[in-house]
Structure 1
Amino acid sequence: MPLVTVSEILRLALPPGTRVVAGARGLGNAVTWTRLLRARPASLGRIDHGEIWLLSAAALQLVGEPRSVARMVRDMAQAGVVAFVTPETLAGEVVAQADEAGTPVLRVPVETPLADLEKAIVGVLVDRDRAIAQRVQDVYERLLSTLVEDRGLELISDIVAEVTGKAVYLLDEHFQPTVQTGGGERAAEALADIRRRYWEGVLGNVAERLIVVRSLADEPLAVVLRPLTLRGAIEGYLAVLGPTDDFVDFDHQVADRAASVLAIELAKQSAVVEARLRLQGDFLTDLLENPVPPDEQLLDRARRLGYDLGRPHLAFVLRARGDASSDGVAGSRGQQRFIDAARRRLVLADVTTLLRERDGCVQVLMPCPPDVEPNDADAGLAWVERLRASLEESLAPEPVSVVAGVGRTPGQDTTPYAAMREASRAADIAASMLTDSPGALHFARLGALRLIFHLADNPELRAFQRDVLGPLEVSDAARRSEFVRTLDAFLRASGNHMRAARDLNVHRNTLIYRLERMQELLGGVNLEDPEARLNLQLALKIRAALGGNAA
C-alpha cells in the first residue's frame, strides 16, 4: 500500500481554509501516525518517524516563548516529526526554523477541534483509498451543486484550486486560457510550452500522464491536463499546475470529476449561445437588411424575444484581415477560431447581444456598455478596440489579425441597417490598410478614407499616388530612405519640425536634411504651399487605404 504523504493529509483530512505557513518542501514527507498535544507531557515517549503533531494553544504555551517553540520544532523534526498542525499564529522565527528544517506547518481555522482532526488523520492512515474516495465524492457533489446553482466556470475553477492547493486554468480547444485561479508568470510559461508542443504535434495523449515542464531558472512544474469533451469533440481543457512532487491520486481523481462537470457547464453555455442565435434568426435579417426604420411589428417581435431596441446600441463588425484565411488549412482554422471565439465571447458577455456571421465577418448589435456614452464616437471606438485587441490576443499563437469597424449609434437619424453598413465599410477599410494601421475604425472618423475606399477600383487613385509620391516610394524601396514615413510625420505635425523630429525619433537636423532631399526628388515642390500639402496628404491617404506603393 502506498505511503500517505503530508500533502494527502492536507487534502483528505484537514478542513477548508487550512494554509501551509512554512516548510512547503516537506509536503511529500510520508506520514505514519499522528499525535495530539493538548499540554506538554512529562515524557513524550518514543517518537516514531513520520508522525504529525497537532499542537493546541495550551501545548504551545507550556513550551514557552517563540525561541523555545522554534527549538522544539527543530528537535522534533530531527527526531522524525514530519509536520505540525495548529490553529495558532506562530512567530516569524518559528516559521523560519520550520522552513529551514523542511517540515510543514499547517495552520487550520481557529475553531477547528483538534480531536476531530486526529480521528480524521487516523482514518486516512488506516484506509487511504476509502478516504480518498470519500473526499473525492464530497468534492464531486460540491462541483455538481454549481450546475444547479448556475454559478459558472469560475466557481468550478475556484473549488478545484481550493481542494488541490494548485493553480487551475480552463483552456479553450486551442489551449488559450479562458478562466484562471491562482498561478503566475511561471505557470503561464509552462502553459505556453504545452501550447507549443500541441501545435507542433508532439504533446501526445494528455490524459494519460503527468506533463513535466522544465526550466533553467526555476524548479520543474507539473501539469495535469484533462480534455473537456462535448458531443464527441474536444471543446477545451482543464489544467492543474503545481510542483512535480506534490501530485497525488486525489488530485488526478478530482481533475477527472471536475472535467466531467466542466463539460456539462460548457454544454449549457453552448446551448445558450445556439439558442440565442436560433431565436434571432429571421428577426435579425429583417432588422439589418431593411433600410427603413423598424416598424411597430418588428419592435413587438423584438420585445417578445427579450430585446429592447429602444435602448442605445453599438453597431460594429469584427473580421479577420484578408490574408488571415488565405493560407490553406491553417488559415481556415484560424478563421473558424476567430468566428467561434467572437460569438461565444459576445453572447456570454451580454445575452441580449444580437449578432450574425456574414461572409467571414461577425456583425454585432450590442446594448451600449454602462461606461460608453451612446453618441460619443470616441468612447464607442475605444470600447470596441479593447474587445478587438483582447480577441486577437486570445487567438495567439496563430497570427490571426482582427480588425473592427464601428457605425453610428442607431436612433432617430440612423437605422440599424445604415449603422451596420457603416460598420461594415469601416471594417473593410481597416482590413485593407497596412498592418501597422489602427485595428479599429469608426465610420464617423474616416474622413477622406470613405471616398477613397468607395473609389478603390478606379485606376486614377493609384495613378494619382504614383504621380505625387512615386519618387519617394522608389527611393525608399531602393535605399530604405524612409522618405514616405518622414513626409507623413511632417504633415501630421502640421509642419512643426520639432514635433515631427520627436515623433520620428531623429534629430531636427536629420529631419531638415530629409525634407530638403524630398523636395529635390519631388521636383522642387514647396512643402509650405497649402495645395501641395493637400495633394501630398491625399496621396498618403490613398497609400494607407489601398496598401503599399503604387505599381
Structure 2
Amino acid sequence: MTSRASLPPEPSVALREVLAFDDGGSLRLLLAPAGRDIGVRGVAVGDEGPARPLDGCLVLVTGPPASAPEAAGPVREAARRGATGVVLRAVEGVAAAPQVVAAAEEAGVALLVRAEWADWTDTAALLRSALACVRAGRDDDRGTGWTAAGGPESLSALAAAVAEYTGGSITIEDTRLRVLAHSATGPDADALRRSTILGGRVPEWRVAELRRSGMLRTLWTSRDVIHRAADAEGPERLIIAVRSGPEVLGSIWVAGDGRPLRPDAPAALRRAAEVAAPLLVRRRLRESGAARRSELALRGLLYGDGDARTHAWSLGLSPDAACAVVVAEPLAAGRSDAGPPVAASAPDGRALDVAALQAATYRPSVRVLRDGGRLLVLLPVDAGAERGAEPGAAERGVAERGVVALARELAGPGRDTGLLAGAGPVAAGAAGVRGSCEEALLIVRVLRERVGAGSPLRAADAAAVGPSLDVARVLDAARPVWEAGRGPVHDLVRTDLAAGGELVRSLAAFLDASGDVARAAARLVVHPNTLRYRLRRARERYGVDLDDPDTRLLVTLAVRLSG
C-alpha cells in the first residue's frame, strides 16, 4: 500500500491562475517578490502544527491581522517552512503594517489579505477549488472532450455539454433544489421538467414526494450515479450529487427527453459532477460574499461604524431616504444595551426567526440583521425625505405610526411569550440611523424594566414610554460619574449590597413613596417603625441624611444605578 508521504506532490499552479478564480474580490495581493507566476501546490492553515512542511503552500494565518506588526512573525515562520505565500486578515480602512510587508519581502513570499467580510472557511474553499479547477483543465484523459477549465466556463455551458454527452435534458440544482442552470428543453420534455425550469426550483409537491420516498436522503449520501427507470410518471432519470470533499454542493439531473440515454451517460455524469464542483463553489462564494458585504454594511449603518452614506449605497438605499430602526429582543434576553446580546434560548430563537420573516416581508426595501439574541430592522419609510425633502409633521406622523405598527407586529400578541420591540424615531437619512437604533435599543431596555414591574406593554416608541426614556439616558450618563466617586452614600451602597442590600431596598422604597413611611413600609411588608429604624441607621452609621436635597438626589441615582 502506498503511503501518503510517498505519493508524488500535486502539480503546482501559478499564483495568477489562482487569483483569476477569485471573481468575488475576497482576496487581494499586496506583494509578490517572486512574481505572480510562482507555483502554488496546496493550502494550509498556519497553526496546524510546527512540524508540518509547507512546501509550495499558501498559508492561512488566522491569528493577528495584516495591520498588526506581530503578524510579521507568522509570515517569517511560514517562509522558513517553505510556503509560497501567506494570507492574512485585512481590517477595513487600515493598511498592512510596514513590519509585515518588510518580512514578506525579505523572505520572498507572496503577501495576500482576505477581505473583512469573508471568513477563513470560505477562503480555504475558494483556494482549494481554484487549484482543483486549474488542474482539471490540464488533465483531459477521461474521454469526455470537456474539462473544468478547458471547456465549460459557466454552469449553463456545462449543462449544455452534459446534455450532448448523455443524450438527455439537464438541470443543475443547489441543495435547496433551486435550478441554477439547465439545457435546452426539447418538444418532448415531461411536465415536471417544464414546471421545474419555469418555477426556478423543484415544485414543493415533488420535494415532499422525494423526501417521503427517501430519494433525497439517498442523493445526499450517495457518491455515485443514481438511476431511476422510466415509469408512468416520467422518463428515465440519472442523478448525481456534486461534492467538494465531504460537503454536498448541489446535484445534476439527467432526464430522457423522448429518447433513451446514451450507454456511457453515467460516466459522463460522474465527470460532470467533478467539473461542476468548483463552479458551484465559485457561485456560492459569490453569493455568500455579497450577503456578507451587505450584512457588514447594515451592521455598520446601524451601529455607526464607518461612513453611513457609503453603507446606504452598498445596501441599495438612497443615503437621503427617511428611515427608522425597530429592535426586537426575547422577553428573557440577558441584556439590551448597545453591546452584544446574549444568545436567545431555543423558543425565543424561533420567535426571532418568525419576526425576521415578518419584517422581511413587510416591505421589499426592509433590511434585517440577526445579531445574536437580537433582531434589528432598518425600515425605509415614505416621509417626504425619500424625495429629497424634509418630511412635514403630517408625513412624519404617518411614518412613525407605520414604524410602531411594525414593532407591535414583531412583538406578537402574547403577554408571557414573544418579544419586546422598540421603535426608533424616523431619521431624515443614513446619518441618523445610528441615533434611531440607539433609541430603539434604549426603549427595549425600558420595556424590560417595566415588564419586571408588571407592565403588559411589549412594543413602544419614545412617546409610549414617556419620561422613562430620558431617565435611562440620564442614568447612563451618570453611571461613570457615580462609579468614580466616593463618600458616605458610596460607602452605604457598597457595604449594604455586599451584605444583601436590605438597607438599599428600604431607601429605594422610601424614595419611591415620596417620603411616605407608611406606604413604603407596606411595600416592603415591614412595620413602619422598622423602616424608621433603618433610615435612622443610614444617618447614624453612614452619615446619609435624606433631609438634605443633594444627598437625596444622589441616593436616588445610586439606588437606580445599583438595580
Q: Please identify which structure carries the higher helix content.
A: 1
TM band (smaller chain): 0.3 to 0.5
